[in-house]
Every structure is written in C-alpha cells, then in structure tokens.
Structure 1
Amino acid sequence: MFVAMELPFRCIEHEAFREFLSIVAPSLNVISRTTLARDIYKLWDSEREILKEFISQNCQRVCLTTDTWTSSQNLSYMCLTSHFIDNNWKLQKKVLNFCQVTRHTGNDDLFMYICLLIY
C-alpha cells in the first residue's frame, strides 16, 4: 500500500493511521517506519533474485528500454525494463530497476543513470 500509493513511510507512525488500523485490524501488530522500509527492501531484493533466475532460464536475448516520469511528489525517476520472449513464446516485460534522477543535461548524464540502473 505504501509503495503503490507513494506514501511516506512515516505515515505508519501517525496516530490517525494507527487508530484506523486498530479499528479495521485490532490484532495487527503495527511496525515502525524503519521496519517497514527494511521489510520492503528485503522483499525487493528477494524478488530481484527470483527475476534474475527467471531471465537466465527463460530467454537468450533481452531488449532494454528506459522510461522517465515524475511522481506526485514532483520527483523524477528513470526505470529500466527488460523485454524478451520466454521459452513458451510469450512476450515478457519485467522492470529491472529504477532510480531517482535529477534534470539531465546531456547524453553523458543519461548514460550515467542507465549504468546506475544496470548495476
């Protein structure tokens, strides 16, 4: 929910949010924002490893594309996506990585961001 709605993690510690959770899920143990951030990073890292394995076993060639967008908080991001045909001849599209970007001034900056995404 926090990622999908682009909510700051500090919302989990807000009194109104905790009161809401106590009504809809009274038995839920509410975690801290640092625990939330750590758990989301662990999930991302786990899914990244699963995706690496999937790509290594299901395709021989990959096409990479980038996309940029601005969030509702007016932050700019760049995304690196892989496109490939799997062993069942289905077109697959998987997000490999994304990062926050500042306004780039030329090809060198763009190249740097793409390298950061691949790493």
Structure 2
Amino acid sequence: MQPAFQVMGRHTIRDDAVKMYKGMKKDIEVELQNLDSRIFLTSDMWTSSQSLGYMSITAHYINAEFIYKKKIISFAEVKYPHMDYAIEEELVGCLTEWGIKGQAVHFDTG
C-alpha cells in the first residue's frame, strides 16, 4: 500500500456517509416539494432466500427545466406477512417521511 495514504476509521467513514446521505436527502426533499408537476411512483418487491421481504420505491418526475428524473426514495424490509396492509404501511410511511402529498402522486406496482 501507499505509505502516504491515511487510513480512516470505520466510524469516520460511517459518519461521513451519513452526513452525505442527509445532505442529498434534504436536496431531493426540497426538489420534490417545489415541483410544479406530479410525481409517479413505482415499486418493486421481492423475497430473499431467508424469506425476508424487501420493497423499493422510486419517484419519477419532471423538474422545472423539463428534465426527467428518477430517485429511489425507499428501500426497506417489509414486515411479514407480505400482504397488502404491510405494503401499504411501508408506502404511507415513505410518503410521510418525504412529505409527498397524495394529490400529486400516481402509483404503479411493478
């Protein structure tokens, strides 16, 4: 290894990653809340070999410069059993966390 390379500790790396995540999330929240267009959501759900359910939610939208954007706004484990109420709970929690209002959203499951 390069002797001039300074190795960072795992706590420093974790703290830097969390700080970067929070900054990027805030930027996306501001962009979503200031949209003049609607947000289209898609989701995908799958089950791991350990029978754990996971769901991702992607927001699709057109920004003020008329550029198509898509952002994964949630990737979470879904409570077992993976029935409609568990999926709904995760979806509503995601929309609440991001401050997305229902009238601006269209949803499609993948």
In structure 2, relative to structure 1, the CA distance for the partners of 1:65 and 1:104 (3 Å cut) is farther
Q: Distance in 2 between matches of 1:74 and 1:43?
A: 32
C-alpha offsets along residues 43-79 of structure 1, whole Å, 9 cap, x if unaligned? 11110011112223344311122123467x9965322
Q: Per residue, is there more strand in 1 or in 2?
A: 2
Are the aligned partners of 2:78 and 2:86 in contact in 1 as well (CA < 8 Å)? no
Same amino acid, percent of matched pairs: 25
Please list every run of 5 or more consecutive structure 1 residues that lacks an aligned counterpart in the other structure.
1-22
Q: Trace 1:16-35 onto structure 2 (pairs within 5 A).
A: 23=1, 25-35=2-12
In structure 2, relative to structure 1, the CA distance for the partners of 1:26 and 1:75 (3 Å cut) is farther
C-alpha offsets along residues 53-112 of structure 1, whole Å, 9 cap, x if unaligned? 2223344311122123467x9965322211112223222111222223354331111112
How many residues get paired?
A: 96
Point out the structure with max Rg over C-alpha: 1
TM-score (norm 1): 0.62
TM-score (norm 2): 0.66
Please list every run of 5 or more consecutive structure 2 residues that lacks an aligned counterpart in the other structure.
98-110
Decide which of 83, 86, 100 is 2:63's aligned counterpart.
86
The answer to which structure, 1 or 2, has the higher relative contact order (CA under 8 A, 6+ apart) is: 2
